[in-house]
Amino acid sequence: MSDEDDKGGGFFKRLSKGLSKTRGSLAAGVGNLILGEKVIDEDVLEELETALLLTDVGVEATDKIMASLTPRIKRKQLNNTVALHAALADELKALLAPLEKPFCVDTESKPCVVMFVGVNGAGKTTTLGKIASHLTAQGRSLVLAAGDTFRAAAVEQLQEWGHRNAVEVIAQGQGADSASVVFDAVASARARGIDVVLADTAGRLQAKANLMEELSKVKRVMARDDASAPHEVLLVLDAGTGQNALSQLDLFDQAVGVTGLVVTKLDGTAKAGVLFALAARNPKPIYFIGVGEGIEDLRPFDADSFVDALLGNL
């Protein structure tokens, strides 16, 4: 996450490349709309509506966007493609702007405890590792808690991130009680004046009530010595799951009170529009987005550059 890279527009390029499938799907849906070969009329509106739905923008957000654009088109206020493109970009940015919030670890609480939750394979552990690199680079002291005691390779995967960042990993191995691992990690961090605990958890389907209850227990145990912990509960969402992300957000939020989102794998999908659906459904800060597997591919979320990269010049 170097400044140089930002100045050189490096991430914007990667973001643009990452969003190319979704952009392609939008562009195909709206035909020649933005190329200026079409009269902007109600047919175009319908095409736009369908294209938004196809890229997983969702019914609620699509309705909002169309409710704003339709009267303006009917009044001929948006009668050329440049004006329509700009109006669409403004609408999309306005939907996402409230979700922009920098991820700051709470310096009042020592340790600041961050819990990672999500369905299987969403990208929790790699996101945790990337955030660990980011925080280490800022000079924070960390402990990683291997709270995924379910999957055989989970502890080793976290330990690898620990080695890479020269950060201690608290683990008890496969089959151990997840809540007890996390409790130990928080207690050990507190005793040593460590700044941040990043706690991994096992992936679970949001509809499995018993597994969600287990996750609530992990959360409750964290609050035993400090009622304000965990200070952040990050739900990691794979953008490729499309509209299912809404139910993931609902059910994880009910179980553990989600404080922010990380949306990964925007690179592999034509469903990046799901960010708008999330914004319309249950607006939570999107702290980071992921557009690839590398450390540099996880970045703070910025609504304007996301929309600019998404629309490109269609």
Ligand X SMILES: Nc1nc2c(ncn2[C@@H]2O[C@H](COP(=O)(O)OP(=O)(O)OP(=O)(O)O)[C@@H](O)[C@H]2O)c(=O)[nH]1
* Cα distance between residue 48 and residue 61, in whole Å: 13
Q: Which of 29, 123, 240, 242 binds ligand X (CB under 6 A)?
A: 123
| Residue 293 binds ligand X, judged by CB under 6 A | yes
Please name the amino acid found at residue 261: L
* Cα distance between residue 116 and residue 258, in whole Å: 10
Q: Which stretch binds ligand X (CB under 6 A): 55-63, 113-121, 186-194, 217-225?
A: 113-121
Q: Which stretch binds ligand X (CB under 6 A): 33-41, 178-186, 243-251, 288-296?
A: 288-296
* Cα distance between residue 300 and residue 287, in whole Å: 6
* Cα distance between residue 274 and residue 220, in whole Å: 30
DSSP string, 82-117: HHHHHHHHHHHHHHHGGGB------SSSSSEEEEEE
CB closer to Mg ion out of 55 and 201: 201
| Residue 265 binds ligand X, judged by CB under 6 A | yes
* Cα distance between residue 28 and residue 51, in whole Å: 8
Neighbour count for residue 77 (Cβ, 10 Å): 12
CB closer to ligand X out of 14 and 190: 14
CB closer to ligand X out of 31 and 292: 292
Q: Which of 49, 56, 91, 148 binds ligand X (CB under 6 A)?
A: 148
Least Cβ distance, residue 36 to Mg ion (angstroms): 47
Please report, to the nearest 10 degrees, the dihedral formed by the alpha carbons of residues 16, 21, 22, 23 taken in order: 60
Binding site for Mg ion (CB under 5 A): 124-125
Please choose which of Mg ion, ligand X, none residue 123 contacts, taking the beta carbon within 5 to 8 angstroms, the exact cut-off set by kind.
ligand X
Least Cβ distance, residue 125 to Mg ion (angstroms): 3
Least Cβ distance, residue 215 to ligand X (angstroms): 12
* Cα distance between residue 182 and residue 113, in whole Å: 10
CB closer to Mg ion out of 125 and 206: 125
* Cα distance between residue 258 and residue 235, in whole Å: 6
Least Cβ distance, residue 116 to Mg ion (angstroms): 8
* Cα distance between residue 264 and residue 238, in whole Å: 5
* Cα distance between residue 278 and residue 300, in whole Å: 17
H-type alpha helices, 138-225: 154-165, 178-191, 209-222
CB closer to Mg ion out of 96 and 114: 114
Q: Which of 58, 111, 203, 273 binds ligand X (CB under 6 A)?
A: 203
- Footprint of ligand X on 35-94 (CB under 6 A): none
Nearest residue to Mg ion on Cβ basis: 125
Q: Which stretch binds ligand X (CB under 6 A): 2-10, 85-93, 146-154, 166-174?
A: 146-154
Contacts of 20 (CB under 8 A, 6+ apart): none
Binding site for ligand X (CB under 6 A): 118, 120-126, 148, 151, 154, 203, 236, 264-265, 267-268, 290-293, 297
